[in-house]
């Protein structure tokens, strides 16, 4: 399996809002540029203890989390006995929530990950003609589909962009932020995940992976064609969670990411409100959490204007 970061806090602040958004928006097409596996064996590690296991144990303490779509699926898959507990990836979440009548497009460079999606689709009763898997560079594939997408059908597509590095350019010179911007401008419902490891970064190398560095890079790319689409900012919602002690923890204890953002476009206000309630629930259940060594695992939530 190509994705080793599964079931950590970064996955929770991606799948939790994603599951709710899928349920509320009910797209008829789901596209993923970096799909990963349908699911993963849920085995123990301290990073997963802080991520999926903490969520599983404490979700009941917050009403929005307890009632969330994500909680229902995760509790069910994780409770399977005999070492068969599973952690769902984004493809399984979407197919479980939307079922057979939708059209799914999953891209990944790793064909084994794509095989798990085909098997999972069969298990969930999703017909094989509704699930297209493409073993190729995902940004290029989604650009091809975007070019031929009828503008009247744009709002029926939900695209998730979930690369390891959202700022990495493909061989055509485009990265996931370029794609996110162009999907947004076309009217597609889009979501992009990104991580960061400090608030500002002290030196030039660390600044680019800091929160401030990420914001600068995102603003630069998102507003490149401002004169073409002055309303772009109004179409966006971005929620970030990060460890309260992020600056102190940098280079010490890192539970996969110290902070991450879920940037979305063209969502209904109902979805936005639901995501904000879920983020507040997450903050609530991490209030007294601890990382190995005793550092505080408390989270903060902020929305960002781009
Ligand atoms: C973070 S994981 C995806 C996780 C998944 N979206 C989820 O939420 O469960 C990133 C995936 O991108 C794939 N990948 C890396 N580079 C890629 C590329 N250029 N095009 C498509 N997939 C790529 C990796 O093989 C890996 O499975």
Measure 2 CA to ligand 1 centroid, in angstroms: 7
Please report the pLDDT score of residue 102 as a whole number: 95
**Domain boundaries in the chain?**
9-303
Residue 112 scores a pLDDT above 70: yes
Query: Nearest-CA neighbor of 46 among 79, 78, 9?
Result: 9
Query: Nearest-CA neighbor of 142 among 132, 127, 152?
Result: 132
Residue to mutate (ligand 1; options 108, 135, 165, 179; most atoms within 8 A of CB)? 108
Note whether 48 and 7 are within 8 A (CB): yes
Atom of ligand 1 nearest to the CA of 18: 8
Beta strands in the chain (DSSP E): 29-32, 39-41, 86-88, 103-108, 131-135, 157-161, 189-196, 236-243, 259-265, 299-303
Measure 35 CA to ligand 1 centroid, in angstroms: 5
Q: Is the CB of 90 under 6 A from ligand 1?
A: yes
Stated as kind and residue range, the H or E segment containing 73 is helix 69-78
Please report the pLDDT score of residue 3 as a whole number: 81
Please report the pLDDT score of residue 80 as a whole number: 83
Tallying the residues shown for the chain, one arrives at 306
pLDDT digits (tens, 9 = 90+) for 150-175: 999 999 999 999 999 999 999 999 99
Residue 228 scores a pLDDT above 70: no
Mean pLDDT of 255-281: 97
Could you tell me which residue, 201 or 276, shows the higher pLDDT? 276
Look up the CATH architecture of domain 9-303: 3-Layer(aba) Sandwich (3.40)
Residue 127 scores a pLDDT above 70: yes
Please report the pLDDT score of residue 226 as a whole number: 61
Residue to mutate (ligand 1; options 42, 163, 171, 194; most atoms within 8 A of CB)? 163
pLDDT digits (tens, 9 = 90+) for 13-55: 999 999 999 999 999 999 999 999 999 999 999 999 999 999 9
DSSP secondary structure letters along 103-165: EEEEEES-HHHHHHHHHHHHHHT--GGGEEEEES-HHHHHHHHHHT--GGGGGGEEEEE--S-
Q: Is the CB of 39 under 6 A from ligand 1?
A: no
Burial of 264 (0-12, 13-18, 19+ CB in 10 A): buried
pLDDT digits (tens, 9 = 90+) for 53-71: 999 999 999 999 999 999 9
Note whether 279 and 13 are within 8 A (CB): yes
Measure 110 CA to ligand 1 centroid, in angstroms: 8
Query: Nearest-CA neighbor of 103 among 34, 19, 32, 23?
Result: 32
Note whether 112 and 106 are within 8 A (CB): no
Mean pLDDT of 278-288: 98
Q: Is the CB of 46 under 6 A from ligand 1?
A: no
Residue to mutate (ligand 1; options 10, 15, 18, 35; most atoms within 8 A of CB)? 35
| pTM of this structure | 0.97
Please report the pLDDT score of residue 187 as a whole number: 96
Dist. CA 70–CA 267, nearest whole Å: 18
Residue partners of 234: CB distance under 8 A and separation at least 6 = none
């Amino acid at each position: 399996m190509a994705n080793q970061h599964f079931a950590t806090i970064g996955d929770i602040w991606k799948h939790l809002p994603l599951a709710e958004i899928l349920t509320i928006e009910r797209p008829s097409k789901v596209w993923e540029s970096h799909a990963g596996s349908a699911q993963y064996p849920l085995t123990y590690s301290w990073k997963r203890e802080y991520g999926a296991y903490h969520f599983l144990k404490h979700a009941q303490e917050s009403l929005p989390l307890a009632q969330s779509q994500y909680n229902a699926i995760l509790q069910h898959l994780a409770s399977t006995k005999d070492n068969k507990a599973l952690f769902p990836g984004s493809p399984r979440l979407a197919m479980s929530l939307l079922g057979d009548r939708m059209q799914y497009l999953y891209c990944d460079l790793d064909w084994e990950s794509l095989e798990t999606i085909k098997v999972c689709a069969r298990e969930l009763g999703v017909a094989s003609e509704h699930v297209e898997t493409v073993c190729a560079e995902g940004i290029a594939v989604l650009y091809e589909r975007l070019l031929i997408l009828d503008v009247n059908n744009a709002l029926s597509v939900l695209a998730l962009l979930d690369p390891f590095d959202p700022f990495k350019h493909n061989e055509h010179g485009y990265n996931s932020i370029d794609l996110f911007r162009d999907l947004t401008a076309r009217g597609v419902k889009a979501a992009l995940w990104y991580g960061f490891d400090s608030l500002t970064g002290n030196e030039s190398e660390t600044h680019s992976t800091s929160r401030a560095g990420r914001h600068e890079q995102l603003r630069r790319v998102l507003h490149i064609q401002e004169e073409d689409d002055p309303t772009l900012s109004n179409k966006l919602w971005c929620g970030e969670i990060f460890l309260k002690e992020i600056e102190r923890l940098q280079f010490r204890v890192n539970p996969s990411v110290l902070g991450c953002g879920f940037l979305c476009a063209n969502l209904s206000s109902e979805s936005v409100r639901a995501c904000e309630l879920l983020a507040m629930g997450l903050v609530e259940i991490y209030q007294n959490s601890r990382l190995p060594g005793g550092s505080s695992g408390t989270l903060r939530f902020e929305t960002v204007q781009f």
